[in-house]
Amino acid sequence: MAEKFIVTPWEVTGDVDYKRLVREFGIKEIDAHLLKRIEKIAKGSHHFLRRKIFFAHRDLDWILDEYEKGNKFFLYTGRAPSGHTHLGHLVPWMFTKWLQDKFGVELWFQFPDEEKFLFKEKLTLEDTERYTYENMLDIIALGFNPKKTKFLVDTKNANLMYREALKVAKKINFSNVKAAFGLTNETNIGGIFYTAMQAVPAFLPSVLAGKNIPCLIPHAVDQDPHFRLSRDVVGKLGYYKPASIQCRFLPALQGATGKMSASEQETAVYTIDDPETVKRKINKYAFSGGRDTVEEHRKLGGKPEIDVSYQWLAFFEEDDKKLEKIYTDYKSGKMLTGELKQILIDKINKLLAEHQKNREKAKKKIGEYLVKG
């Protein structure tokens, strides 16, 4: 029974069939062999990898080959500011932080503050600039090394970026972006050009260093069309084609209908939500895999595979044994939905208490991360 779902950089709806995405996008699943290889080289394991939250890639094996030869890569990821940060956004960034630490590499973090301005009728550049600041606090709060982390803001670093974007743009025509993103004759000319700006951080560090450096892009899978389009172009410009490692979406509180949306307040938990709000949202909205009555639940057990609280714990509870026990207890009926939700609420509130403390401290640190030019 094929459900209809849509995954583009601007729209993710429906129950995403990740197996089908792998085929349609032409990406590769991370298999057991590659997983082991990453863990061996990283000298450590990440639950996002073990649990197939980061599940697919392009050329990751090549990135590891080069790394083993002593040819270090840099990381590139980003955030198109259009609202406050929610927990779904943190997922690729937490993993990026792990990669930075384990491989000891530079991260170039792009804030394409024009993207959502161009694609959302009512959003102004003043809005996206305000959210750039707010989002930066969340990224810094995750603990990225300021000596190895560079923030690129498209409108503020245009002197560095526009020139490089032009080289990309010259090799992509309107037919190409129509096919990749479903743009139309009614799409504005900024939106048509935009993908060229998103390609730039994949090779700008090579331009600035005056030598070719491999690039690895950790990102949520909906961004793949940008890099699918620009990989070949970056190659033709004489730089390495960027590699990528791609993650699933944290489901919306209401259940498996694609990714959480920052524009729909009640589908997401924000990094600035207070403990009471977190409690209320999870208790009120988190889709339950429990049974209609306690009696039935005790007898038949819950369904963790459709329970959003359980799925969120699969993202945020790092301890495999704890998670397994929750799974078993919930599935057997020993644990009730209310208890499961309470575990999630405690977990998220603990995570956010720490995050919000770091977020405050981040306000004084922004200058250390900004690229000049």
Identify which of residues 118 and 137 has a Cβ nearer to its own copies in the complex.
Answer: 118
Residue choice 19, 40, 130, 163 for contact with its own copies (CB under 8 A): 163
Our CB check for its own copies shows the closer of 165 and 253 to be 165
Could you say whether residue 193 binds its own copies (CB under 8 A)?
A: yes
Q: Does 186 bind its own copies (CB under 8 A)?
A: yes
Tell me which amino acid residue 158 is.
Answer: A
- Cβ atoms within 10 Å of 199's Cβ, excluding its own: 27
For β-strands 28-29 and 54-58, DSSP reports them as antiparallel
CB of 339 to its own copies, least distance (A): 49
Q: Which stretch binds its own copies (CB under 8 A): 2-10, 56-64, 152-160, 284-292?
A: 152-160
Q: How far is the CB of 187 from its own copies (least distance, A)?
A: 6
Give residue 347's identity as a one-letter amino acid code: K
Q: How far is the CB of 188 from its own copies (least distance, A)?
A: 5
Residue number with CB closer to its own copies (306 or 370)? 370
* 141 conformational bin, left if phi > 0, alpha if psi -120 to 50, beta if neither: alpha
- 167 near its own copies (CB under 8 A): yes
Task: State the nearest-atom distance from the C-beta of 362 to its own copies, in Å.
Answer: 24
Cβ proximity to its own copies: between 186 and 292 the closer is 186
Candidate residues 16, 49, 87, 165; the one interacting with its own copies per rule CB under 8 A = 165
Number of residues that bind its own copies (CB under 8 A): 39
Q: Which of 59, 66, 138, 154 binds its own copies (CB under 8 A)?
A: 154
- If binding is defined by CB under 8 A, does position 293 make contact with its own copies? no
Q: Which is nearer to its own copies, 159 or 293 (CB)?
A: 159
CA distance 264 to 19: 27
CA distances from 102 to 38, 39, 218, 315, 355 (A): 10, 10, 14, 20, 21
Query: Phi first, then psi: what are they for 25, rounded to 5°?
Result: -80, -20
Element (H, E) at 13: strand 11-13
The alpha carbon of residue 236 and the mean position of all alpha carbons in its chain are separated, in whole angstroms, by 27
Shorter beta-carbon distance to its own copies: residue 64 or 169: 169
Whichever of 110 and 157 has its CB closer to its own copies, that residue is 157
Q: What whole-number distance in Å separates Cα of residue 43 and Cα of residue 30?
A: 18
For residue 158, state whether it binds its own copies (rule: CB under 8 A). yes
The contact mask relative to its own copies for 95-134 (x = CB under 8 A, - = no) is -------------------x--xx------x---------
* 26: exposed, middle or buried (Cβ count in 10 Å: 0-12, 13-18, 19+): exposed
Start-to-end Cα distance in the chain? 52
Least distance from its own copies to the Cβ atom of residue 235, Å: 17
Question: Closest CB to its own copies among 234 and 340?
Answer: 234
Q: How far is the CB of 127 from its own copies (least distance, A)?
A: 13
- Tokens linked to 363: 């306000």
Stretch that binds its own copies, among 31-39, 189-197, 220-228, 271-279 (CB under 8 A): 189-197
Alpha helices in 237-300 (DSSP H): 275-285, 294-300
From the list 362, 318, 111, 102, the residue with the least C-alpha distance to 216 is: 102
Q: What's the token pair of residue 281?
A: 């949202």
DSSP 288: P
* Residue 358 identity (one-letter amino acid): N
| Residue that the structure tokens 């939905």 belong to | 337
Residue 178 interacts with its own copies (CB under 8 A): yes or no: yes
Look up tokens 């500011």; give the residue: 81
Tell me whether residue 19 or residue 163 sits nearer to its own copies (CB atom): 163
Interaction between residue 161 and its own copies (CB under 8 A): yes
Site residues, its own copies (CB under 8 A): 114, 117-118, 125, 154-159, 161-163, 165-167, 169-178, 183-193, 195-196
